[in-house]
Amino acid sequence: MLADTYGRVATDLRVSLTDRCNLRCTYCMPEEGLQWLAKPDLLTDDEIVRLVDIAVRLLGITEVRFTGGEPLLRPGLPGIVEAVAALEPRPRISLTTNGIGLGRTAAALRTAGLDRVNVSLDTLRPEVFHTLTRRNRHHDVLAGLHAAREAGLTPVKVNSVLMPGLNEDEAPDLLAWAIEHDYELRFIEQMPLDAQHGWRREGMITAGDILASLRTRFRLEPEGEEQRGSAPAERWIVDGGPHRVGVIASVTRPFCAACDRTRLTADGQVRTCLFATEETDLRAALRADADDAHLAEIWRGAMWGKKAGSGLDDPTFLQPERPMSAIGG
């Protein structure tokens, strides 16, 4: 098990497959991009599958989510999914993506063993999409979402971040659209994880703002704690059901006490939290021919040191050196 000193057990593994991306979302990356990881530093496809195998066989991981950067940019993705789907015990496998290219790849990924996708889309307006992501790819994301649903990668979840002055007024439109297309919408509060360090608490759109905006058009009833479990999203039943809407309020309503996550970066570092300032190097041990038991022991040791919370509310809070795109959101 991947237990920590606060009694939590991690069963959900987030694997970042690359730090590169074909968008430049303003809350994530600067316009010019970042200094990408060098190829030799990235785990190979086989190294990723080996570590995921150790995680499911020896450490109790039951959920594996591939993310990035943009995971669809990783050429080996279908092969990695297929190999992970063949592991015993088989974990549930999902993908967090900006959706660009999913129109072409959704069916093949489904065949390879992918169970579900989360697609990030912040706006229904192509010109706002361009301002937010600095690219003209709104249409590709919509096509990707459609293909995901047709391929059975369901429930298809849509992640939206609201930014002041750009798309903050779009919450009700996004929810109406998601209901119409049978996507499950979740809003994510903007977090201090951008490479440019541009986040300001005073400027962010909070869960409270989002709910107030949604309530101008919809009746929302809380779904209740039992259904939530360790899920980061608090969910509300919309207009009596069956549709739901979620809010991931990492800043204003943190859920650290129920966290069940462990993370692996594209260069083979274990992170206990998005906001952790320390990492544990699995790649060095892996490349020094450590056996499975030893790698599992290093991973367990890393998780044992997991902190109680993100520290966001602490006046001494320091934003992690790696931005979200390099940690794996």
Residue 94's binding partner, choosing from ligand SAM, ligand SF4, none, with beta-carbon cut-off 5 to 8 A by kind?
none
Q: Are 52 and 82 within 8 A, CB to CB?
A: no
Residue 159's binding partner, choosing from ligand SF4, ligand SAM, none, with beta-carbon cut-off 5 to 8 A by kind? ligand SAM
Q: How far is the CB of 19 from ligand SF4 (least distance, A)?
A: 8
Q: Which pair of structure tokens corresponds to residue 19? A: 């730090």
Tell me how far, at minimum, the Cβ of 112 lies from ligand SAM, in Å: 18
Q: What is the largest CA-CA distance in the chain?
A: 59
Query: Closest separation between CB of residue 52 and ligand SAM, Å?
Result: 18
The answer to the question of residue 184 lying near ligand SAM (CB under 6 A) is no
Q: How many residues bind ligand SAM (CB under 6 A)?
A: 20
CB of 264 to ligand SAM, least distance (A): 14
Closest CB to ligand SF4 among 29 and 102?
29
Which among ligand SF4, ligand SAM, none contacts residue 24 (Cβ within 5 to 8 A by kind)? ligand SF4
Q: Does 67 bind ligand SAM (CB under 6 A)?
A: yes
Task: Kindly report the backbone phi and psi dihedral angles of residue 200, in degrees, each rounded to the nearest multiple of 5, phi listed first.
Answer: -135, 130
Asked if 254 is part of the footprint of ligand SAM (rule: CB under 6 A), the reply reads no
Based on the shown chain and the rule CB under 6 A, indicate whether residue 195 belongs to the binding site for ligand SAM. no
Q: What are the structure tokens assigned to 298, written together? A: 């290093």
Is 100 near ligand SAM (CB under 6 A)? Answer: no
* Residue with smallest beta-carbon separation from ligand SAM: 329
Considering the rule CB under 6 A, would residue 101 count as an interface residue with ligand SAM?
no
Tokens of 2: 């991947």
**3-state secondary structure string, 274-295?**
CCCCCCEEHHHHHHCCCCHHHH
Site for ligand SAM in 110-149 (CB under 6 A): 120
Q: 42 or 59: whose CB is closer to ligand SF4?
A: 42
DSSP letters for 59-88: S---EEEEESS-GGG-TTHHHHHHHHHTSS
Nearest CB to ligand SF4, comparing residues 70 and 189: 70
> What phi and psi values does residue 133 have, to the nearest 5 degrees?
-110, -10
Interface positions, 269-328, toward ligand SAM (CB under 6 A):
324-325
User: Alpha-carbon distance 99 to 73, whole Å?
Assistant: 11
By CB under 6 A, residue 12 contacts ligand SAM: no
Neighbours of 227 (CB within 10 A): 12
Sheet with 92-97, side-by-side order of all strands = 220-222, 234-238, 244-248, 184-188, 157-160, 116-120, 92-97, 63-67, 12-16, 261-264, 269-271, 280-281
Crossing angle of helices 102-112 and 138-150, in 10° steps, is 30
Report the interface residues with ligand SAM, using CB under 6 A: 21, 27-28, 67-68, 70, 96-98, 120, 159, 161, 188, 190-191, 193-194, 324-325, 329
